[in-house]
Copies of this chain bind each other. A is one copy, B any other.
Amino acid sequence: MALKAQALYDFIAEAGNNELTVKEGETLIITNQSIGGGWIEAQNSRGEVGLVPEDYIEFSKPVPSFPGAGTAAPAISVGNVAIPDLSIFDSYAPAAAPAQTQASNGNDPWSVWNADPSGGSNNNWASNPEGTQTGKSPADPWGSVSQGHPQAYQGPDIYPYPYLIDNTGAEDDEWDDEWDDMKSTGGYAESESGDAGAIQRGAHASSMKISLNKFPGFSKSGPELYLLCKQIAKGKEKLPIYIGEVGPVWSYPETQLDCVVADPKKGSKMYGLKSYIEYQITPNTTNRPVNHRYKHFDWLYERLLDKFGSAIPIPSLPDKQVTGRFEEEFIKMRMERLQGWMTRMCRHPVVSSSEVFQIFLTYKDEKDWKTGKRKAEKDETVGVMVFTTIEPEAADLDLVEVEQKCEQFNRFTKAMDDGVKEILTVGNEHWKRCTGPLPKEYQRIGKAFQNLSAVFNSSGYQGESTLTDAMTAAGKTYEEIAQMVAEQPKKDLHFVMETNNEYKGLLGCFPDTIGVHKAAIDKVKEADKLVATSKITPQDKVTMAKRVSTMSYALQAEMNHFHSNRIYDYNRVMQLYLEEQVKFYETIAAKLRQAHSQFTTM
């Protein structure tokens, strides 16, 4: 007798993972219960067979399974940033700390993984800072009403437009991605455990885990952790800031690090039942490729965010699930965006020279990688403590100047965020028109010319073939133009969209980064009061002023880095856009000239 089950929730299969998309309420036949790892093989009414998470289905007769399967419905839990309990700062408020919103399956797979003897990985804590996150409307980090976010742009091959990502699917995907590595016995992922955040996660802490360790430094305890700490001089880590022509600048390496992300390869696990994609990353320093899966990038992102997020905006990774029509397109798109992210990281002098980034790019073997990973996860110079490593080679700034700069950067990044979003909105609409109604119209024009030409051909009148041939050719030319119009956005607008999309993500990080600075400034402003009430010593106040100056140098260096990259990026992308646009219009003109020449001159 076939064992039947019913889908409790919608589940969207990830391409290439042997998964099966199911709709809530759908009846399935269980074809293999012994897959393990929370997966079950099932067949739907159309005869398609694939893996479905055990949690998502309810057996028609009870089946002894792992705890909690098929009971609770997935719930959206909203976790806000915890307010630090450094109660001496009674005016403390996390100025720009965004309300983090993220979905998690209430029937939490991690509550199982955490019970796993090999321990849990941290990757599941992945947050989606606003800017690149899609869906689930996070609070606008700029504090204004967000409108017209062109989330429809998902890359060049997506049609019809606008294409909204199914967030549930994305979450499932992440869940799967994690599971994949931890349960595997074949890969090197088994031992990828760690304890990156300071918080010990309990088996049922699903509503807390999301944001608590996202910015362990500042969201847990605010900049006061740094402002008042006994600074320990660490030997190796040192981030000097120089005064260059444009003002404070990071120390730039002589040759810029770069890398190529290429050659996506499908790997598989669980005897071929689960598959994943591995990318080859080749840095220009060693010219030796290393392999990484998306989840390793995600791990790197988390480390960089932990370590540098208070001082440097770390853009989030490209969306985990960019929904493409075909697996191939999806992989291509993800790779292109991972390349963009890596290039940006490589270009950053602080990020690219960090130990964690280097180990990611240059590990020699699995043992090397594992050692590097463990070390990175144990790094304590994270959050606001990163400022302890910053050493400006210039005189301290007074608070007024610090505040002015901070305000200026805030204004600029907010204004640029608006500008970038406007381009994305307009570009998205243009994309839709160019791939939708416009080519259809050119096609209809082309058809109309050809149809009339066909009628003319039926006239029985002698000697009009020159006209009808020419009209048919003109009609075909408009059909060609239709195709050119439809394909053009991939050749030019795509890059404008990608660049602006990247900047939207990057700019979305600034409110957090600037928020840390604003909070620090507020603390320093309170210093007199705190001294008066003996909450801090006069020496503490001097230290705080000096440290907020250091933070300001860091922010200025970072802004200057941002500006120089911005100028480079926009100059490049505008050039490319216009170059391709010129080619496009010239090609059309040439085609039409050719069509024109076929008519008789009178």
Contacts and interface: CB of A to CB of B under 8 A. Distances in A.
Interface of A: 245-246, 408, 411-412, 415-416, 418-420, 422-423, 426-427, 429-430, 433, 437-438, 441, 444-445, 447-449, 451-452, 454-456, 458-462, 464, 466-467, 470-471, 474, 560, 563-564, 566-568, 570-572, 574-575, 578-579, 581-582, 585-586, 588-589, 592-593, 595-596, 599-602
A106 to B, nearest CB: 42
B459 A563 contact: yes
Contact of A585 (B447, B459, B585, B601): B585
B415 A444 contact: no
A427 B444 CA distance: 9
Given A423-B448, A437-B433, A451-B422, A456 B582 contact: no
Contacts of A459: 412, 563
Given A412-B459, A422-B451, A458-B412, A575 B596 contact: yes
A474 B427 CA distance: 15
Q: How many copies does the complex hold?
A: 2
17 contacts: A415-B458, A416-B455, A418-B455, A419-B451, A419-B455, A422-B452, A433-B437, A433-B441, A438-B438, A449-B574, A467-B567, A471-B570, A474-B574, A578-B593, A578-B596, A581-B592, A585-B589
A404 to B, nearest CB: 11
B246 A462 contact: yes
Contact of A412 (B419, B455, B567, B579): B455
A418 B451 CA distance: 9
B579 A419 contact: no
Contacts of A447: 422
B448 A426 contact: yes
B416 A452 contact: yes
Contacts of A429: 441, 444
B571 A600 contact: yes
A425 B482 CA distance: 18
Given A456-B570, A582-B589, A585-B589, 19 more contacts: A411-B458, A415-B455, A418-B455, A422-B447, A423-B448, A423-B452, A426-B441, A452-B570, A461-B563, A461-B564, A467-B567, A467-B571, A470-B571, A470-B574, A471-B574, A568-B602, A575-B596, A575-B601, A578-B596
B245 A462 contact: yes
A448 B421 CA distance: 9
A455 B461 CA distance: 65
B445 A426 contact: yes
A599 B571 contact: yes
Given A458-B415, A459-B563, A572-B602, A582 B578 contact: no
Contacts of A458: 411-412, 415
Nearest to A600: B571
A585 B592 contact: yes
A415 B460 CA distance: 13
A586 B433 CA distance: 22
Most chain B Cβ neighbours within 10 Å, of A456, A566, A568, A595: A456
Nearest to A460: B408
A412 B461 CA distance: 11
A593 B575 CA distance: 10
A456 B429 CA distance: 24
A242 to B, nearest CB: 16
B585 A246 contact: no
Contact of A464 (B411, B422, B460, B567): B567
Nearest to A500: B452
A566 to B, nearest CB: 8
A438 B485 CA distance: 13
A447 B447 CA distance: 35
B448 A419 contact: yes
Contacts of A588: 585
A448 B55 CA distance: 47
B426 A461 contact: no
A454 B422 CA distance: 13
A445 B430 contact: yes
A543 to B, nearest CB: 30
B430 A461 contact: no
A298 to B, nearest CB: 31
Contacts of A595: 578
A466 to B, nearest CB: 8
Contacts of A454: 419
Nearest to A559: B461
A501 B471 CA distance: 18
A15 to B, nearest CB: 33
A575 to B, nearest CB: 5
